[in-house]
Amino acid sequence: MPIRTFLIVMLTAYLTAAAGQSNPQPYALFDQQGKRTKYKKMIKAAKQADVILFGESHNEAIVHWLQNLVARELRADGELTIGMEMFEADQQEALNGYLAGELKAEELDEVGEGLWSNFKTDYQPLVDWAAAEGVPVIASNVPRKYARVVFKEGFAGLEQLTADEKKLLPPLPVPYDASLPGYVKMLEMMPGGHAGSTFPMAQAIKDATMAHWIVQHKRPGVPFLHLNGSYHSDDFEGIGWYLQQYAPELKIMTISTVNQPGISTLSTENKGKANFTIAVPELMTKTY
């Protein structure tokens, strides 16, 4: 390579790196095709959807901040319902008590399997805001004890539950497509044996239960903002697939969260995961 060309290449690389460091960004937003997009476009799409599946990394503080902003944007236009993977269906009564100011967080933590360890930092601000605004919060996840039943015995194990226990679940038998890429990938993580075959089923009962409670609490004309780990809605599978089974008329919008070394572009493997993808630098501070 001629020395002049070499110097130009090196100078360009240096200036590019310097520019990136002089204007650091806490996150970048991309559309489904992997092109940079704006927050206001995501909000416009959210306001046109019936259900917004906001996929998060559970320890990503900046994404919890964005969830709070999105909730406020939707609430500004009228009524809103929020659903959360972080609460299980057997906690709903206690959660209602907390929202009404009748229970403290410590008392809510004693119900079911308790609160997530990062509740205070990552979820309580939104839940307390919802309480002040009169926004319902739905405990959408399956009680973990029933997910453990599925992991041990498959879906057949749910048939042995009592009638009252089954009220916390979607109607049985639960539809299940083991060929969905997300479930296939999970199966590959634990190949062979009965435990391996039921591993994605335990994930599916969570996805199905969350979809079920979204549909049960979806009010006509009122957007439903659901917070869940990105793996529950990435690639338009998981909760989204079950929503298509239970209420195909609903218009669903998905958001995913990914970590990347740099966020100037969206990596190939992260393109197409959702309608909108939030890319967060790997160096961003985590809550745990």
CATH number reported for the structural domain that contains residue 123 in this entry: 3.40.50.11550
5: in domain: no
154: in domain: yes
CB atoms within 10 A of CB 93: 11
User: pLDDT tens for residues 122-163?
Assistant: 999 999 999 999 999 999 999 999 999 999 999 999 999 999
274: in domain: yes
Instruction: Please give the span between the terminal C-alpha atoms of the chain, in angstroms, as a whole number.
Output: 48
Q: What is the pLDDT of residue 11?
A: 41
- Of 29, 64, 231, 199, the residue nearest 240 (C-alpha): 231
Q: What is the pLDDT of residue 288?
A: 94
Q: What is the pLDDT of residue 188?
A: 85
Q: What is the pTM of this model?
A: 0.91
194: in domain: yes
Q: How many domains does the chain divide into?
A: 1
Q: What is the pLDDT of residue 22?
A: 67
Q: What is the pLDDT of residue 3?
A: 52
Instruction: List the chain residues with pLDDT less than 70.
Output: 1-22, 191-195
22: in domain: no
Q: What is the pLDDT of residue 267?
A: 97
What are the tokens at 90? 């057997």
Task: Decide: 275 and 253 in contact? Cβ < 8 Å.
Answer: yes
Q: What is the pLDDT of residue 196?
A: 75
Domain holding 156, by residue range, is 27-281
14: in domain: no
226: in domain: yes
10: in domain: no
Distance CA 200, CA 185 (A): 9
Q: What is the pLDDT of residue 203?
A: 97
